[in-house]
Structure 1
Amino acid sequence: MKKLGILLIATALLALGACKGSGSKKKFLPPSTGGINTLMVIMDTELWRGPVGEKIRDEFAAQIVGLPQIEPKFTLTQVPPKVFKGTTTHSRSILYVEQDSTSLAHIKDDAYAKPQKVAVVTGPTEEVMIKNLDSLADRAIKEFKANEIAEAQRRFERSLSKDKALEEEFGIHLDVPSLYKVGRREDNFVWMDIQIPKGTMNIIAYEMPWDYFSNDSTFVEDIVRMRDSIGEKYIPGPYENTYMITEKAFAPYVFPAEIGGKKAAEVKGVWEIHGYPMAGPFLTYIINDEENNRKMIIEGFTFAPSEAKRDYMFELEAILKTVEFEPSAASD
């Protein structure tokens, strides 16, 4: 391979030399850099403008489901290989694509910085490169996203809320940034929010009976019914008789998930206000908390009219994915 191959080989040799020469000493890696959900794409500009670049945009800048407007999975920045040096190599998420006699599709951890994911795709022809991109894209997107979630969590862990409402009501813990405040707390309901420039970001939690979702064939309808009943009871709109419901025009997306060490359903969709023109995205986790004979529900939703919402919802997802179940929550 060309420049990337030389850099990776040099990195490996340096690491090997360090191990032989100093025993326990490890190679120093600078901290990785970059905005959340940004992906540095290292490839020739001609390739970027052609079918290979189009394949990259189709996969890595595809539309995120569950948002009210079109927003990409990652913000892509294309850089020619000749400038891939110095601090450019410290980017947290890198996709390196090169036309080369060797055919490769793999992911390397912490090649030039830490934490870092470097996806490498090469091939002798555009057709082979596109095939290799196709084979690697799903795994690369998953690993890039997991790395970004971890980075978001590291950032807000610097200052966490000390409020105990979630622990006291449900026996769960979330790493919530200290700027979020509890605005409403009732029996079986906690609502925390934070003001953003043109709206709010919100976290709510409540529990449902273990057997609430009794039929797989009506699962989506039951989710909508659950959310709408909670919205009517606890989440009012700006005027009397207005309240949050699930958008009627489109059914939410539902995916299997694991969170807090438990099986769950991940639900993405759009909320709206019954009787008033307001809407925004939501992310709900329905967690099978069998030990406590309940479905634990945690949700994040955003109100930010005319604003991009990807990164807001990403922060909420990062928060929700820190959920831990306290031993004291177990039923006797």
Structure 2
Amino acid sequence: MKNKRYISQFVFALLSTCMLFITSCSEGGLMGGSNLGGKSGELLIVINDEYKNSQTSETVTEIMNQYEIGLTQSEAPFSILMISRNHFSSVFRSHRNILFIDINKKFISPLVQFKKNVWTKQQNYIGVGVESPEKLLEILKLRHDNIIDFFVQAEIERFKLAYQSMPGNKVKTLVQQHLNIRLDIPEGYEINKQAPGFMWISFESNEHSQGLLIYERAYRDTMQLEKWKLLQYRDSITKAYIPGPSKGSYMTTEYIVPIQYKVGRYVNNDYTVELRGKWRVEHDFMGGPFVSYSFVDNSKKRLVTIEGYVYYPNKSKRNFVRQLQAICQSVRFVEGAK
């Protein structure tokens, strides 16, 4: 949203040093250390040798590649690497995200195991044991959301751990002073606008923009956490504070695409509403994905929303969105502050 400025890209190497994860059903034991393999956003699928190059493996990939809601182009949640069990060596066992499939008649009932830190630290692993290819596809479709959420949240947690290890900076301090919350904000973000109960900060590179909107209002009742109430308030905030590049233009919500509404415990393990969708600029042609988290700070009787958005035309935004989710989910209330 802002003119592109200086600042080099984040040091992604640091991010790969902070993670969560697991092992196979019958083999295991930590290798020691934190030598996590694979790229951020990559999923390793291990399948029986005889099914590696088959219609079954193709369908597995299609199921796991269902597009993420909110991204402006068709983008899968993971880049998939599939290998046969025969090639599942120690090199691959250190991968960050592993889906281990065993099709064997010994499985009278399907077995699905969610594990962490099996072969190395910060690793996430799911083992699926089924008696037939047909049962495998049935289970993957049935448990698809649980499986994807498990791996996606692991990616977010790795970014969170990386950001926690970074030293304090001016923006962190100003957010805490102005809004009485702590956020693990990496170096490179700048404050664009500040108003009572509101802050807009962003990271600007020559190619992309990652922004954070933080705003609060008095908490009255649970109706404020309903989907359309949150979106209505969002639109009032972005119209007032987030101008577009041309005169009279401003950020708003794109309503012609689905907006996902989820309730979870994303922030401080408390009741949190997550919204995922697309933003656009009224009277202009900019747009991109956004994700927001809204939660109640009972000690101050306020409703707080922290939102991240990405602008990166025609390029992959998946990891940038997850980086923003990590920042949003790192929020802690400042005790005793007014």
Q: For this structure pair, what is the TM-score category when the shorter chain's length is used for normalisation?
A: 0.7 to 0.9
2:228 aligned residue: 221
Q: Is the 8 Å Cα contact of residues 224 and 230 (structure 2) preserved in structure 1?
A: no
Displacement of 1:102: 2.5
Which moved further from structure 2: 65-74 or 183-192?
183-192
Contact 2:45 2:81 survives alignment (8 Å)? yes
Encode CA deviations 1:220-271: one digit per residue, 9 max, x unaligned: 3322321221112111111221111111424622111221233121111111
The answer as to whether partners of 2:116 and 2:124 remain within 8 angstroms in 1 is yes
Q: Write the distance in 1 (CA, Å) between the matches of 2:175 and 2:210.
A: 17
Q: Is the 8 A contact 2:49 2:86 kept in 1?
A: no
Structure 1 position 320 matched with structure 2 position 322: no
Task: Pick the aligned partner of 2:71 from 55, 62, 67.
Answer: 67
Structure-2 residue corresponding to 1:4? none
Q: Show the 5 A alignment for 1:42-121.
A: 42-44=46-48, 47-103=51-107, 104-121=111-128
Report the CA distance shift for 1:147/1:276 in structure 2 as closer, same or farther (over 3 A): same
Gaps of 5+ in 1: 1-6, 16-26
Q: Secondary structure at the match of 1:41?
A: strand
- Show the 5 A alignment for 1:1-332: 9=26, 11=28, 28=32, 30-44=34-48, 47-103=51-107, 104-134=111-141, 136-163=143-170, 164-211=173-220, 214=223, 219-250=226-257, 252-258=259-265, 259-329=267-337
CA distance in 1, matches of 2:186, 2:336: 24
Letter in 1 for 2:212: I
Residue segments in structure 2 that go unaligned for 5+ positions in a row? 1-23
Secondary structure of 2:285's counterpart equals strand
Q: Distance in 1 between matches of 2:256 and 2:300?
A: 35
Comparing 45-54 with 180-189, greater Cα deviation is found at 45-54
Q: Which amino acid aligns with 1:33?
A: G
**TM-score, with length taken from structure 2:** 0.83
Which entry has the higher C-alpha Rg, 1 or 2? 1
In structure 2, relative to structure 1, the CA distance for the partners of 1:10 and 1:309 (3 Å cut) is: closer
TM-score by length of 1: 0.84
Whole-angstrom CA distance in 2 between matches of 1:326 and 1:147 = 26
Deviation at 1:28, TM superposition (A): 3.0
Shift of 1:76: 0.7
* 3-state DSSP of counterpart to 1:292: coil
- Which deviates the most, 197-206 or 219-228? 219-228
- Secondary structure class of the residue paired with 1:327: coil
Please give the per-residue CA displacement for 1:186-224, whole angstroms capped at 9, x wherever unaligned: 2221111112342210011110221387477xx333223
Do 2:32 and 2:121's aligned partners in 1 also have CA atoms closer than 8 Å?
Answer: no
CA contact (8 A) 1:105 1:135 kept: no
The verdict on how the C-alpha distance between 1:279 and 1:134 changes in structure 2, with shifts beyond 3 A counting, is closer
